[in-house]
Structure 1
Amino acid sequence: MRLLICVVVPAFVVGCANPSVKPNFVLDANGAKALVIVSVTRPDREVFFTSPVCSYRSIGGSVSGTIGKSRVPRLDEDRIESTSATHLGMPSVMGKLAALELPAGEYEFFHCSVRNAFGSYSTIRPMSLRFRVAPGELVYIGNILVAPESIPFVSVSNNADRDLSLAKDRWPKVPVFESRQRLLAF
């Protein structure tokens, strides 16, 4: 049993991307990796649900990760709270803003979920929100809205005003307002 744990855990850790870069992160414009800015939210009116969780993976590769779930019980500095949206004149939401450093390539978000006291609500049909990044690129791919009491359950919108303003505060060395905007598509 110990041998199995020693083999599986390192393989998992190597294949996962960090959920978000550190506050002092600097993008190497000539480097092999890209920086992707994305938010994952739910409507604030649905107060009995947790913040959403969305998973992504590389197409044909070994990179994967999850946005919205923290294994360490601590205050999450990347949260988007109600006041973050309303002061910009946008609808009130709860969720997470992420800046992902990823190797160049093609990726997809393939699963989203929220929880409440009665259980978990998640995408039941196969989902593929695809995006592509190039080396050294800084790109905003949009807001993934997970609305458990709505149809569609998952939608994508351009909330660059809110997200890039928040990103500039959290990652001051990243020129977020120079990012390309290439929204996710089903």
Structure 2
Amino acid sequence: MVSALMPWIVSAWSHDTDGVCSQGNCHLKEKHLTNRVQVGSPVGMKLAKVPTAVVRDEEPPKPVFEKRSLNIEEDMQMYSKFLDRKEDIKGNHAVYMRQHPELKALLADFLQFLLLRKPQDIISFASEYFSAFSTTVPNASPYLASNAPTPFPVSRGNTRIEQLRTPTR
């Protein structure tokens, strides 16, 4: 049965540095292993039954839809859905704020701090302020400063010691 498929079989043989063949594999076009021989091994493997070929269905091409211009003010149904969704989101926000009074206190503290500092870049200021409350931002290591080089001579890893020493006369 395998001999009938010989035109579709790919063979690969490994040779040692001496030029002696040590291992051989034969594969079908579908990458099924048909035969494996290894010199010095009492075991040889051969394909007993050729598997049925997998026929893949062709996927139909995806439909292409033309882009429509959306003018929300003219389309009353879409504008109505927009207003309904907007009111729904506002209501959910108000319920969340009522259920979490600590959020209101946090925002009040932030606004007071913002008015006191009056930063030039409000976005980076808000990012720094709220990063202290984030659980996803990793905390800086408390030992980070201990890795910095010191000007003291007892530090063996200090590379600036020679610069700090006074010249001897």
- Normalised TM-score (structure 2): 0.14
Higher helix share: 2
Larger RCO, structures 1/2 (Cα 8 Å, 6+ apart): 1
- Normalised TM-score (structure 1): 0.13
Q: Report which of the two structures shows the higher radius of gyration computed on alpha carbons.
A: 2
